[in-house]
Amino acid sequence: MDIFYDVPLARLNTFRMKVQAACLVEYDTAEELGGIPEDLPKPWKALGGGSNLLFTGDFPGTLLHSRIRFIQPVEMQEYVLVRVGSGACWDDLCAWAADHGLWGIENLSHIPGEVGAAAVQNIGAYGVEAADVVDTVECYDLVERRFCRFSAAECGYGYRTSRFKEEWKDRYIVTAVGIRLAKEYSPKLDYGNVRTAAIRRFGAYEVETGSLTPSRVRETVIGIRREKLPEPEELGSAGSFFRNPIVPREQYWQVLRKAGEEGLGEVPHYDAGELVKIPAAWLIEKCGWKGRREGNAGVYDRQALVLVNATGQAAPGEILSLEEKIKASVLDRFGIRLTPEVEHI
């Protein structure tokens, strides 16, 4: 375990906010968490790859970062259960699964961040989310100071959320996650343009006759992401900044009416039971924000859901002010209240 004080965080958050933490602890085993000195600055908070958060200023407490990176497969009859350390890079796990011909997380390829955070925030992309594959989550309980484990059902997963983000917030530190991967041929190509992109890459015959592999789907997904999303090394961002709003049907009709009146074209949407999910990117784009800059902050020109640190010099206040302006204009124009997906710290 290493303990650092007054730590610059620019390299520890993909938004590249130049802020500091009073203290950072990096630990290599779950057991070390039991030995963290009580007198380190509070609050204590787990930090993953820093790819889904916005530091709104200096952090006065202690960030706990896992360097537990093992990948331990246990062969089962129909599937493979993989126990993975919380500090493993999520995409390294996706690459490992693809290399072993295992299905389940190929659509989640190339998402920045670490395995522990993936299980906390229920990462998702292209019709798959972490909750589909998480079996168990092993944790250290900061309140009771003991180890525990939760089944996926106990984690209360929902769209980009879990109990770890709600009533359990900042109580449990994830140390390892059990992931269930399938041996059986099971590509998921039905989201957006995944099938079309796979056909373009490998040909219709291969795609429709069961000749895909997890590696091929992974390659397809990485291709799509590279076209639409900024690489954290090149342009600071935290991926999707807002959640896609899930609204009552009447509110969707209101948006439809508005789109008709103003010639905004078709309104993309997905049915969610009684409710309707509308892509926040569409709402933001139709408010004229796509590609716009405000000082050092901006809206990505290829995906309106992504706020960026356009110059690398953006201060947290600039991102926050852009966030507020976008929320206000979407509310004003469509009557929909956007909520951030990115955690504000």
In the numeric block, which tokens belong to residue 103? 């299905």
**Annotation says 109 is catalytic:** no
| Under rule CB under 6 A, residue 291 binds ligand EPU | no
Contacts of 258 (CB under 8 A, 6+ apart): 264, 333, 334
* Alpha helix (H) residue ranges in the chain: 90-99, 115-121, 194-202, 204-208, 214-228, 249-262, 280-286, 316-334
Sole binder of ligand EPU in the list 240, 247, 322, 338 (CB under 6 A): 240
Strands 270-272 and 275-277: antiparallel
Q: How far apart are CA 197 and CA 225, in angstroms?
A: 11
Backbone angles phi, psi at 262, to 5 degrees: -100, 5
Q: How far apart are CA 311 and CA 32, in angstroms?
A: 39
Q: How far apart are CA 314 and CA 191, in angstroms?
A: 34
Nearer to ligand EPU, 85 or 239 (CB): 239
**Total residues in contact with ligand EPU, by rule CB under 6 A:** 20
**Residue type (1 letter), 75:** E
Catalytic residue among 67, 83, 160, 201: 160
Of 182-190, 236-244, 250-258, 319-327: span binding ligand EPU (CB under 6 A): 236-244
Q: Is 158 left (phi over 0), alpha (psi -120 to 50) or beta?
A: beta
String marking each residue 184-203 x if it binds ligand EPU according to CB under 6 A: -------xx-----------
| Under rule CB under 6 A, residue 169 binds ligand EPU | no
| Under rule CB under 6 A, residue 244 binds ligand EPU | yes
In 3D, which of 339, 337, 327, 263 has the Cα closest to residue 299?
327
Neighbours of 274 (CB within 10 A): 7
In the numeric block, which tokens belong to residue 43? 């609050």
| Under rule CB under 6 A, residue 285 binds ligand EPU | yes
CB of residue 117 to ligand EPU, shortest distance in Å: 12
- Report the SS3 class of residue 103: strand
| Under rule CB under 6 A, residue 304 binds ligand EPU | yes
Catalytic residue among 66, 106, 240, 318: 240
Nearer to ligand EPU, 60 or 127 (CB): 127
| Under rule CB under 6 A, residue 108 binds ligand EPU | no
Sole binder of ligand EPU in the list 95, 305, 330, 338 (CB under 6 A): 305
Sole binder of ligand EPU in the list 86, 122, 162, 303 (CB under 6 A): 303
Nearer to ligand EPU, 90 or 126 (CB): 126
| Residues constituting the chain | 345
Axis-axis angle for helices 214-228, 194-202 (nearest 10): 110
Residue nearest ligand EPU by beta-carbon distance: 239
Of 56-64, 134-142, 181-189, 282-290: span binding ligand EPU (CB under 6 A): 282-290
Q: How far apart are CA 316 and CA 22, in angstroms?
A: 17
Of 21-29, 145-153, 209-217, 235-243: span binding ligand EPU (CB under 6 A): 235-243
**Annotation says 227 is catalytic:** no
| Under rule CB under 6 A, residue 268 binds ligand EPU | yes
CB of residue 159 to ligand EPU, shortest distance in Å: 7
Nearer to ligand EPU, 102 or 229 (CB): 229
In the numeric block, which tokens belong to residue 294? 């405000």
Strands 270-272 and 79-85: unpaired
In the numeric block, which tokens belong to residue 208? 């429709």
Sole binder of ligand EPU in the list 87, 104, 187, 279 (CB under 6 A): 279
Q: Which residue has the tokens 């990115």?
A: 342
| Under rule CB under 6 A, residue 239 binds ligand EPU | yes
**Annotation says 186 is catalytic:** no
Q: Which residues are catalytic?
A: 160, 240, 341
Binding interface with ligand EPU (CB under 6 A): 125-126, 191-192, 228-229, 239-240, 243-244, 268, 279, 281-282, 285, 290, 303-305, 341
